A = this chain, B = another copy of it.
Amino acid sequence: MVGGEEVRNKQVIFRDYVSGFPKESDMYITTDKTLHLKVPEASNGVLVKNLYLSSDPYMRLRMQKHGVDLDGFLASYTPGSVLSGYGVCKVVDSGHPDFKRGELVWGITGWEEYTLITSPEALFKIQHTDVPLSYYAGLLGMPGLTAYVGFYEICTPKKGEKVFVSAASGAVGQVVGQFAKLMGCYIVGSAGSKEKVDLLKNKFGFDDAFNYKEEHDLDAALKRYFPEGIDIYFENVGGKMLDAVLLNMKIHGRIAMCGMISQYNNIHEPEGVTNLIYLIYNRVRMQGFEVFDYYHLYSKFLETVLPYIRERKITYVEDITEGLESGPAALVGLFSGLNIGKRVVVVARE
């Protein structure tokens, strides 16, 4: 006997491997499946109702067949199966002693209304709800922790240093910029529209910002904002921007390699980066990182960031889209920069 109310489970299905820019039609919505709102007997999984889904650039990497073995976090989606990603969820039923019905969690879940999470140990419990719940899909979730780890742990910033972040109004970039200001750094960001540049300067307190699409010569643009060079580069885009940054790093500079959104859609023919020799000239450390190597820092991160939020020293701009049906467009739009701030798909508010 299964038990539990039976419901139709609306889902976003990944149709097939993608090459080039993803399209909405690479996914489709279905309500074909039904589900009992109960964890199967003998399972120690957790059945969750998905509330907020995080639409993230790295998901593009999972939409292709990889030529090499990668860690599970980047494993290709299975054609015909439900999409997955980070989300904020409510426990509906639990077969695991650490989780109880009604508790809020965030972690990897399905792009669907309800998900049976079979390894709930990887979920984070949400204990502070005096801040917007959707923040756990952004500022207080994976993207915020990514910014924290990348900036403080990888970039080892010092007061007064010159910091540059690309994709600066995005889910991670806006947080990096505000951390840099709080640290007493000079921070400049690049983004892809006037509206985003305004946001950086007026909402997030960046010292300056520019629209990379309006710069024919990225090297010249960087020299304008960093006449003495860049101490820290927080890399979200790759390609031409990285090449220009390499020409402008200061001696003993650090580059945190967080993402390369400009390259995700031409992963089989990426742009060549030609200025790596400047890593030697200027003795620069360039370091790739993945947030899940630093999950043990999550509580320290919360202790740092929650007070900043409560004291309004950190703000966060979300780009909320309503309904699971909006998911495919929300994801695809990231790659043409349609999002203003952190893109979150609301499946349900409670």
Query: In the complex, A318 Cα to B287 Cα: how many Å?
Result: 35
- Return A72 CB to nearest CB of chain B, in Å: 12
- Copies of the protein in its oligomer: 2
A88 lies within 8 A of chain B by Cβ: no
- Stretch from A36-44, A47-55, A265-273, A298-306 forming part of the interface with B: A265-273
- Return A94 CB to nearest CB of chain B, in Å: 32
B-side contacts of A286, CB under 8 Å? 279, 285-287
On whether the beta carbons of A285 and B285 are closer than 8 Å, the reply is: yes
B-side contacts of A314, CB under 8 Å? none
On whether the beta carbons of B293 and A288 are closer than 8 Å, the reply is: no
B-side contacts of A293, CB under 8 Å? 283
* A242-255 near B? 1/0 per residue, CB < 8 Å: 10000100010000
Query: In the complex, A277 Cα to B238 Cα: how many Å?
Result: 8
B-side contacts of A277, CB under 8 Å? 238, 260, 263, 267, 270
B-side contacts of A258, CB under 8 Å? 280
On whether the beta carbons of A281 and B70 are closer than 8 Å, the reply is: yes
* A224-260 near B? 1/0 per residue, CB < 8 Å: 0000000000000010001000010001000001111
Interface residues of A in 59-107 (CB under 8 A from B): 68, 70-71, 74
- Return A159 CB to nearest CB of chain B, in Å: 22
A193 lies within 8 A of chain B by Cβ: no
B-binding residues in A (CB < 8 A) = 68, 70-71, 74, 238, 242, 247, 251, 257-260, 263, 267, 269-290, 293
Name 11 interchain pairs, CB-CB below 8 A, sorted by A.
A71-B281, A242-B276, A257-B280, A260-B277, A267-B277, A273-B274, A273-B276, A279-B288, A280-B289, A284-B288, A285-B288
Q: Which 9 A-B pairs have the closest CB atoms?
A: A272-B272, A279-B288, A280-B288, A285-B287, A270-B274, A286-B286, A273-B273, A257-B280, A283-B288
